[in-house]
């Protein structure tokens, strides 16, 4: 017995009512490898990570990425890369990026000359009097 | 589109007491500070389990949700509506893909999720076990079911799990088109001929009970909400979401001169809350557990699609393929 549906396409497909009994579970890797997707919304933007997808090869990954991540919103370029080719320091290790206040000589805020300059001007003005 | 976050959860809660108290405290502090949790962060087992369950059910709902509306693509009234409905159905399937990726970051493979869907082990939103009998049903689904889903998804997009929030933000942007499209269709019918008005009213009558089921059982009987709220897995209770939905959409329904098939539905001016006849929660449970008008057909169609697509996936397979979970 096949499914008699409100949807004529489903009725025409002649799907057995009990296809559960013949179903073999999907094997691992049935959905292929994982790719990460990056896009640029407009020229001049940094390429930004937007998500992931499954594809059997880079060409198909680009086709899927265009459908998946550039279907509705603005986009001028798309990159894909196999997830396993990306090396990361993840947020779980974000403490490696912490630095000590003693290292502020490496930053703009480590340099303040205003006080010295004011003092210098004061002394010069005093000696000219 | 999605609802019923707290559908059936057969497994018992995993007690937090078994977790490392120091790690648990750090995790909860992160959430309290409004920081997102990312895939490789430490997280309680119960948090992981609940998120997998929730995101997976959400993904399945998108995929199965494409079926009742897809029914009408071949018979849509006019070319423009046919194109629009195809775009909407394509969006739903795309949302399923985004959500499966988000769930994968928590450690469950896509194949395992699909296997659990077609074996009936994991659930999807109950509303999709009902048929779209007429074109007007698709209009009501696109307007009101999607509206209910947006209430839920906007709330959850402010949750604590990074990949899920990011997927939901993208989904919500796209859903706004669905809502406008659905409203446009309902307005066209409601402002049309007597036959068209009757058609949309009948569709609304049919869909009202599933719509009232959509956000899940009342808070008084909904289990394990408290911890999930604390962990920002659940961002609003079922009752809060139902109230927000009623507040936004019942006035719009009445505005069209349509009626809601519940004589007790009104807003209490003192409490500011909507009062209504409790929908039949026994029916809700029965349908979720497989005994709805379309459950068997939905899963049979899904199985057929997986089985008949298998040779293509097989042909594209390469021996060097190696699975890794998505990064973020």
Which residues on B lie below 8 Å from A16 (Cβ)? 300
pLDDT of residue B3: 52
Report whether pLDDT(A75) > 60.
yes
Please enumerate in sequence order all residues whose Cβ is within 8 A of that of A29, keeping only pairs 6 or more positions apart, or say none. B111, B317, B321, B323
In chain B, the percentage of residues whose pLDDT exceeds 70 is 94
pLDDT of residue B218: 93
Kindly indicate the confidence band of residue B51, based on its pLDDT and cuts at 50, 70 and 90: very high
pLDDT of residue B107: 95
**pLDDT digits over B13-24, tens only?**
666 668 899 999
Which residues on A lie below 8 Å from B203 (Cβ)? none
In chain A, the percentage of residues whose pLDDT exceeds 70 is 100
Q: Does B74 touch chain A (CB under 8 A)?
A: yes
Q: What is the mean pLDDT of residues A95-122?
A: 91
List the single best residue of A1, A3, A8, A15 to mutate versus B (max B Cβ within 10 A). A15
Please enumerate in sequence order all residues whose Cβ is within 8 A of that of A101, keeping only pairs 6 or more positions apart, or say none. none
Please enumerate in sequence order all residues whose Cβ is within 8 A of that of B228, keeping only pairs 6 or more positions apart, or say none. B50, B234
Mean pLDDT, rounded, of chain A:
92
pLDDT of residue B13: 63
Whether B207 contacts B141, CB under 8 Å: yes
How many CB atoms neighbour CB B169 within 10 A? 13
pLDDT of residue A29: 84
pLDDT of residue B319: 84
CB contact under 8 A, B318 and A83: no
The helix/strand/coil state of A21 is coil
Q: Which residue has the higher pLDDT, B225 or B77?
A: B77
Pairwise CA distance, residues A49 & B47, whole Å: 25
**pLDDT digits over B263-309, tens only?**
999 999 999 999 999 999 999 999 999 899 999 999 999 999 999 99
**pLDDT digits over A1-13, tens only?**
899 998 888 999 9
Q: Which of B191, B83, B67 is nearest to B137 (CA)?
A: B67
Q: Minimal Cα–Cα distance from B277 to chain A, Å?
A: 31
Kindly indicate the confidence band of residue B260, based on its pLDDT and cuts at 50, 70 and 90: very high
Kindly indicate the confidence band of residue A18, based on its pLDDT and cuts at 50, 70 and 90: confident
Report whether pLDDT(B262) > 60.
yes
Whether A50 contacts A40, CB under 8 Å: no
pLDDT of residue A101: 83
Q: What is the mean pLDDT of residues A88-111?
A: 89
Kindly indicate the confidence band of residue A31, based on its pLDDT and cuts at 50, 70 and 90: confident
Give, to the nearest 10 degrees, the angle between helix B146-156 and helix B238-255.
Answer: 140
ipTM reported for the complex, 2 dp: 0.89
Q: Which of B178, B179, B199 is nearest to B189 (CA)?
A: B199
**pLDDT digits over B181-224, tens only?**
999 999 999 999 999 999 999 999 999 999 999 999 998 887 66
Interface of B with A in 288-317 (CB under 8 A): 296-297, 299-301, 303-304, 306-307, 310, 313, 316-317
**pLDDT digits over B139-189, tens only?**
999 999 999 999 999 999 999 999 999 999 999 988 889 999 999 999 999
Kindly indicate the confidence band of residue B30, based on its pLDDT and cuts at 50, 70 and 90: very high
In sign, the C-alpha dihedral spanning B102, B107, B112, B117 is negative
CB contact under 8 A, A28 and B111: yes
CB contact under 8 A, B301 and A9: no
pTM, 2 dp: 0.91
Dmax (CA) of chain A = 111
Please enumerate in sequence order all residues whose Cβ is within 8 A of that of A125, keeping only pairs 6 or more positions apart, or say none. none
- Kind and range of the H or E element at A55? strand A48-55
Mean pLDDT, rounded, of chain B:
92
The helix/strand/coil state of A15 is coil
Whether A46 contacts B96, CB under 8 Å: no
Whether B46 contacts B14, CB under 8 Å: yes
Report whether pLDDT(B1) > 60.
no
Q: Minimal Cα–Cα distance from A101 to chain B, Å?
A: 23
The helix/strand/coil state of A35 is strand
CA atoms within 13 A on the CB side of A126: 6
**pLDDT digits over B71-110, tens only?**
999 999 999 999 999 999 999 999 999 999 999 999 999 9
């Amino acid at each position: 017995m096949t499914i008699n549906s409100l949807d004529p396409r489903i009725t025409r497909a002649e799907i057995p009512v009990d296809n559960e009994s013949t179903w073999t579970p999907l094997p691992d890797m049935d959905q292929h490898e994982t790719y990460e997707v990056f896009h640029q919304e407009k020229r001049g933007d940094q390429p930004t990570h937007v998500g992931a997808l499954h594809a059997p090869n880079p060409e198909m990954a680009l086709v899927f990425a265009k459908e998946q991540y550039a279907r509705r919103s603005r986009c001028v370029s798309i990159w894909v890369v196999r997830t396993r080719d990306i090396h990361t320091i993840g947020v779980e290790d974000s403490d490696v990026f912490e630095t000590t206040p003693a290292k502020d000589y490496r930053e703009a805020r480590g340099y303040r000359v205003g006080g010295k300059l004011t003092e210098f001007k004061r002394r010069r003005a005093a000696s000219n009097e | 589109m999605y609802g019923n976050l707290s559908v059936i959860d057969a497994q018992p809660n995993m007690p937090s007491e078994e977790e490392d108290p120091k790690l648990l405290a750090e995790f909860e502090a992160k959430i309290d500070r409004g920081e997102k949790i990312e895939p490789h962060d430490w997280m309680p087992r119960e948090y992981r389990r609940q998120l997998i369950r929730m995101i997976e059910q959400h993904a399945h709902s998108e995929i199965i949700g494409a079926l009742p509306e897809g029914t009408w693509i071949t018979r849509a009234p006019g070319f423009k509506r046919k194109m629009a409905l195809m775009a909407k159905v394509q969006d739903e399937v795309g949302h399923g893909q985004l959500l499966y990726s988000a769930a994968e970051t928590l450690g469950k493979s896509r194949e395992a999720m699909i296997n659990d869907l077609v074996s009936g082990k994991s659930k999807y939103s109950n509303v999709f076990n009902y048929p779209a009998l007429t074109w007007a049903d698709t209009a009501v689904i696109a307007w009101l079911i999607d509206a209910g889903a947006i209430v839920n998804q906007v709330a959850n997009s402010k949750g604590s799990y990074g990949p899920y929030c990011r997927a939901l933000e993208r989904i919500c942007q796209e859903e706004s088109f669905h809502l406008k499209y659905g409203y446009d269709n309902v307005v066209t019918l409601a402002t049309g001929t007597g036959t068209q008005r009757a058609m949309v009213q009948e569709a609304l009558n049919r869909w009202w009970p599933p719509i009232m089921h959509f956000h899940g059982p009342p808070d008084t009987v909904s289990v394990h909400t408290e911890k999930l709220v604390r962990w920002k897995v659940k961002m609003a209770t079922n009752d809060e979401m139902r109230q927000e939905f009623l507040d936004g959409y019942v006035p719009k329904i009445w505005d069209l001169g349509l009626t809601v098939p519940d004589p007790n539905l009104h807003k209490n001016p003192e409490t500011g809350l909507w009062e209504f006849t409790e929908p039949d929660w026994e029916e809700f449970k029965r349908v979720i557990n497989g005994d709805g008008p379309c459950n068997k057909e939905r899963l049979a169609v899904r199985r057929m699609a997986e089985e008949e697509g298998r040779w293509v996936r097989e042909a594209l397979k390469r021996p060097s393929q190696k699975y890794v979970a998505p990064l973020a």
